[in-house]
């Protein structure tokens, strides 16, 4: 495993200010901090070089994770990320709607109280019948929103073989 990692920037603009990396593209801007003193980041032409000071496994693992995070940031500001979910119901006809930054699921398994899920800033949500589409430039926020929706709208304390109701992720952020 190498101590140097290279990230191709393409047409994204990158700035390095102390311990912060910011990436700008046609869809927006993302920033991340580098809280590790043993990681150095340099811009080399159209690439970003991430290097750790020693050849130690945990330093190389952190440098590789940071390189993957910057790659995700570059892809996010250039193309964006989309996740798709689907509402499945067998017993009671559930419905969904978006109010502000909340997804409201009504009549889920016959419940009188609607389930509300707050969507984080930077993530756009669209509801088309039983399909939910999440879009954003930050892969982590889009994935976290999809996971939160799936977790909050599921059946507990009932037999999953009989009650198959819930919201399920059909396409992860890519």
- Supply the pLDDT for residue 72: 95
- Supply the pLDDT for residue 146: 95
pLDDT in tens, 135-145: 999 999 999 99
Q: Are both 140 and 91 inside the same structural domain?
A: yes
Q: What share of the chain is helix, strand, coil (3-state, %, to 5)?
A: 20, 40, 35
Q: Are both 133 and 151 inside the same structural domain?
A: yes
- Supply the pLDDT for residue 1: 53
The last residue of a domain, from among 62, 78, 94: 78
Residue 117's CATH number: 3.90.930.12
- Read off the tokens for 5: 């990692």
Query: Coil, helix or strand for 62?
Result: helix
> Domain span at residue 36?
4-78
- Supply the pLDDT for residue 2: 66
The domain total for the chain is 2
- Supply the pLDDT for residue 161: 76
Using CA atoms, how far apart are residues 161 and 13, in angstroms rounded to an integer?
A: 50
Q: Are both 89 and 143 inside the same structural domain?
A: yes
Q: Are both 87 and 162 inside the same structural domain?
A: yes
- Supply the pLDDT for residue 138: 95
CB distance 7 to 74 below 8 Å: yes
Longest dimension (CA), the chain: 59
Residue numbers in the chain where pLDDT is lower than 50: none
């Amino acid at each position: 495993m190498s101590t140097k990692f290279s990230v191709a920037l393409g047409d994204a603009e990158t700035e390095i200010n102390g311990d912060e990396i910011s990436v700008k593209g046609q869809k927006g801007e993302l920033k991340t901090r580098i809280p590790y003193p043993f990681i150095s980041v340099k811009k080399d032409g159209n690439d970003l070089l991430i290097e750790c000071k020693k050849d130690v496994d945990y330093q190389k693992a952190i440098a590789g994770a940071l390189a993957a995070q910057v790659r995700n940031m570059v892809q996010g500001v250039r193309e964006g990320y989309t996740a798709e979910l689907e509402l499945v119901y067998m017993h009671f006809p559930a419905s969904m709607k978006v109010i502000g930054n909340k997804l409201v699921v009504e009549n889920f398994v016959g419940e009188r109280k609607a389930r509300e899920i707050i969507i984080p800033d930077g993530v756009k949500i669209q509801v088309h019948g039983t399909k939910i589409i999440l879009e954003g430039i930050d892969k982590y926020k889009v994935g976290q929103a999809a996971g939160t929706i799936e977790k909050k709208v599921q059946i507990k304390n009932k037999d999953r073989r009989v009650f198959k109701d819930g919201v399920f992720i059909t396409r992860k952020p890519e």
